[in-house]
Amino acid sequence: MTPSLARTRIKICGLTREQDVDAAVAAGADAIGFVLYAKSPRAVTAQRAAELARRLPPFVTPVLLFVNPTPTEVIAACALVAGATVQFHGDETPQQCWQASDAGRLPFLRAARIPLGEAGHSFDLLKYADQYSQAQAILLDAHVDGYGGAGQTFNWSLLPPNVDAHLVLSGGLTPANVTDGVRLLRPRCRSLAVDVSSGVEASAPDGSALKGIKDAEKIQQFVAAVRAADATPF
């Protein structure tokens, strides 16, 4: 069999500023994520997300991240952000995702929260992907207190060798580790995308991340690392 190449799609999430949207687009991102969860330090309103999304050129997708929203909240936000994909990142059931996505008229991603360490063995991704088969893709994130991966990486090697779904790898990705993640998971699913937030954020003088403030150079490095992985046949 001839080795094949695949193009890994890239989402930069948690954007709050115009210059960061522009930097992500310039670097070659396929999707831009806006967090519509008020308790997140990266949260924006639906109106602010709409302002930022208007900067996007054709074929770059805005993604609106929700945690346990009502259908009314999702449909109203998507009315403001043309062409948006919805990301459900809370405890939404398949039926709740279906209802909030306007009976499937809005494309959506469903986050799967993978336990850290060896506990990842207990998560049945095949069953989860089947339960949420109406999702455009299953987004893999680390299971930590609260919602979102908190910049932590789960054990990728514990995932099944063959998942009949489109997957999005998230949780603790950085320019330094994303190449390994892509090479490991790309052969295991229909297609693979990656989603980064804290891994491309600017740093304060003490080294801590400035949540919601991105670093253009780190974004470029992240995209370059993904493309390096794509250049490796599998």
Q: Pairing relation of β-strands 201-203 and 209-214?
A: antiparallel
Q: Establish whether 141 is a catalytic residue.
A: yes
Q: Do 29 and 225 touch, CB atoms closer than 8 A?
A: no
The two counts, helices (H) then strands (E), for the chain are: 7, 10
- Which DSSP string corresponds to 171-182? SS--TTTHHHHH
From 13, 78, 97, 189, active-site residue:
13
Coil, helix or strand for 18? helix
Cβ neighbours of residue 49 under 8 Å, at least 6 residues apart?
34, 36, 62, 64, 77, 80, 81
Element containing residue 26 per DSSP (H, E): helix 18-27
Indicate if 78 belongs to the active site. no
What are the contacts of 89-94 at 24+ separation with CB within 8 A?
Answer: 89/37, 89/65, 89/139, 89/141, 89/147, 89/148, 90/66, 90/147, 92/68, 94/131, 94/132, 94/134
Burial class (CB in 10 A: 0-12, 13-18, 19+), 164: exposed
| Phi, psi at 227, each rounded to 5° | -65, -30
Catalytic one of 30, 141, 195, 215: 141
Beta bridge partners of 174: none
Residues recognised as catalytic: 13, 141
